[in-house]
Amino acid sequence: MNLFNSILILAGAFLAVFGEAVFSLPRHWLGAQVDLLPALTVYAALNADIATVSLLAVVGGSWFDSLSANPLGVSILPLFAVGFLVFFRRDLILRDMPFAQIVLGAAASAAAPLLTVLLLLTGGQQPLLGWGSLWQWLVMTAGGAVATPVIFGLFDWCHHALGYQRRSETTFRPDREILRGRK
């Protein structure tokens, strides 16, 4: 894509991670924190190149881990796996359909925490798992499903408001009639 899109995605990742750390009201209401990085990874995988998806996974995962109780770097691989799978199947995905965005957001928001817990267990860590974890996973999945179309709409608005749109002009006016034949 272009540099503006990559910068906008990374700025969105920074704001998402910072917002998750600062605003604790959704965490108190729902009993779980909604993670916006998987939904943002879906947007990046459908609208950017693989370098932007990789950069989002590395930088966004590092930011997320630095502000959470996770070991540094454990969120990078799940975010990259989600982005990689969506990126290489994006030709088959109806990216402008809100239903497809909801389904992809739910799948990404469900897969990323599961892969993170799997990596933690594989690495010898002992995360706190119980019935409350199931509630947190369901809230994160539903929150990611709702957030994905919102992220798509927000980024489309930013592209129209701040981005450069090429203006294509033709030499023919649409109201001009071309007469064919001899006179």
1-52 confidence digits (pLDDT tens)? 588 899 999 999 999 999 998 988 888 898 888 999 999 999 999 999 999 9
Give the pLDDT band (50/70/90) at residue 164.
Answer: confident
pLDDT of residue 96 exceeding 70? yes
98-157 confidence digits (pLDDT tens)? 999 999 999 999 999 999 999 999 988 888 888 889 999 999 999 999 999 999 999 999
Note the pTM of the prediction, 2 decimals.
Answer: 0.86
CB atoms within 10 A of CB 156: 14
pLDDT of residue 64 exceeding 90? yes
- What mean pLDDT is predicted for residues 79-108? 93
Smallest CA-to-CA distance from 65 within 122, 121, 11, 20 is with 20
Integer Cα distance of 110 and 104 in angstroms: 10
Give the pLDDT band (50/70/90) at residue 163.
Answer: confident
Positive or negative, the Cα torsion across 153, 155, 60, 92? positive
Please give the pLDDT value at position 183: 61
> 3-162 architecture in CATH?
Orthogonal Bundle (1.10)
CB atoms within 10 A of CB 111: 18
Say if residue 8 is exposed, middle or buried (CB neighbours under 10 Å; 0-12, 13-18, 19+).
buried
pLDDT of residue 173 exceeding 70? no
Please give the pLDDT value at position 69: 84
- Taking the domains of the chain in order of start, what are their residue ranges? 3-162
- What mean pLDDT is predicted for residues 61-78? 92
